[in-house]
């Protein structure tokens, strides 16, 4: 426990709180960062096909489902003996668990995400809801159809937790990190000094390409690596170019097979 709150409770609700705090920071930064936007504020207001109020409601619904599933998962997997062993895991063991969880999450989300694009029924009735955000922004990161939120994010997260063998305490940090990364990928800002842009090729611009018409069947990987896109031929490289009116634009390279 931390401050009298169980690790299971923290693992359920800390990532939700971090989602809104971190996305809120980007909302504020966006007011003063026109020169670092991947799309103009006008494009954000005019091109998107859903209101921000509807996005907030959709995200809250998904987070409610996630909280219920997480509570059930912790209740089913709870074991005092095993929990004590996991809590005392070495830093090396925790790093291995994090690496495993990242690979599991990426693998699950890549294939589910790609299938939802290639199955016309699923795209039309489910996944297209997320693509109403043609110009992504931070707090729209988890705006999905409820069924997609359950299949991609919630079940993907549960598999990452179970297959990695991490403890509820470790899950607080892993899912908080995954949440921050997901929000960052949708923030629409290419800010200098952003370590995610340095460390990960799967970043804000990479995912922005996927949200555009020309990249709709490319760059499915999320939220950490680009390996499945590279292996399976759905990797679309891009260049970042300065717009005349300020900000950046992610443009596909002339030969999308080149890195």
pLDDT at 89: 77
- Segment 136-173, tens digit of pLDDT: 999 999 999 999 999 999 999 999 999 999 999 999 99
Give the confidence band of 101 by pLDDT, cuts at 50, 70, 90.
very high
Q: What are phi and psi of 2, to 5 degrees?
A: -125, 120
Q: Are 254 and 239 in contact (CB under 8 A)?
A: no
d(CA 22, CA 108): 25
pLDDT at 257: 47
Q: Are 134 and 212 in contact (CB under 8 A)?
A: yes
Q: Which letter, b or e, does each residue of 119-156 get, where b requires 16 or more Cβ atoms within 10 Å of its Cβ?
A: eeebbeebbebbbbbbbbbbbbbbbbbeebbbbbbbeb
254 by Cβ neighbours in 10 Å (0-12 / 13-18 / 19+) ranks as exposed
- Is 44's pLDDT higher than 90? yes
256 by Cβ neighbours in 10 Å (0-12 / 13-18 / 19+) ranks as middle
DSSP states along 157-212: HHHHHHHHT--HHHHHHHHHHHHHHHHHHTS-B--TT-HHHHH-SSSHHHHHHHHS
Q: What are phi and psi of 195, to 5 degrees?
A: -65, -30
pLDDT mean over 224-243: 96
Question: Phi/psi class of residue 3: alpha, beta or left (left: φ > 0; alpha: ψ in -120 to 50)?
Answer: left
Angle between helices 91-118 and 168-185 (to 10 degrees): 50
Query: Where do we find the tokens 């470790």?
Result: 170
pLDDT at 34: 93
For the chain, first and last CA: distance in Å?
A: 47
pLDDT mean over 36-41: 96
pLDDT mean over 214-236: 96
Displacement of CA 70 from its chain's centroid (Å)? 17
Global pTM reads 0.92
pLDDT mean over 178-202: 97
Q: Is the dihedral of CA 124, 127, 129, 134 positive or negative?
A: negative
- Segment 105-133, tens digit of pLDDT: 999 999 999 999 999 999 999 999 999 99
d(CA 21, CA 162): 27
- Is 58's pLDDT higher than 60? yes
């Amino acid at each position: 426990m931390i401050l009298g709150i169980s690790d299971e409770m923290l693992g359920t609700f800390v990532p939700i709180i971090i989602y809104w705090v971190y996305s809120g920071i980007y909302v504020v930064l966006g007011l003063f960062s026109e020169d670092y936007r991947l799309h103009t504020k006008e494009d954000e207001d005019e091109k998107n096909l859903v209101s921000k109020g509807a996005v907030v409601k959709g995200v809250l619904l998904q987070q409610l489902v996630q909280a219920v599933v997480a509570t059930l998962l912790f209740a089913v997997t709870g074991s005092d003996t095993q929990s004590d062993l996991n809590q005392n895991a070495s830093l090396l063991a925790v790093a291995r668990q994090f690496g495993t969880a990242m690979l599991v999450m990426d693998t699950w989300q890549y294939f589910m995400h790609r299938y939802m694009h290639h199955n016309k029924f699923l795209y039309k009735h489910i996944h297209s809801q997320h693509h109403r955000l043609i110009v992504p922004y931070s707090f729209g990161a988890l705006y999905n159809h409820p069924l997609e939120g359950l299949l991609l994010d919630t079940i993907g997260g549960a598999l990452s937790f179970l297959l990695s063998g991490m403890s509820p305490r470790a899950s607080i940090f892993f899912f908080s990190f995954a949440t921050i990364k997901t929000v960052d990928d949708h923030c629409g800002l290419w800010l200098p000094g952003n370590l995610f842009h340095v460390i990960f090729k799967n970043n804000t611009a990479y995912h922005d390409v996927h949200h555009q018409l020309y990249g709709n069947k490319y760059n499915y990987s999320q939220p950490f690596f680009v390996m499945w896109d590279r292996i399976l031929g759905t990797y679309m490289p891009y260049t970042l170019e300065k717009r005349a009116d300020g900000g950046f634009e992610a443009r596909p390279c002339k030969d999308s097979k080149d890195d």
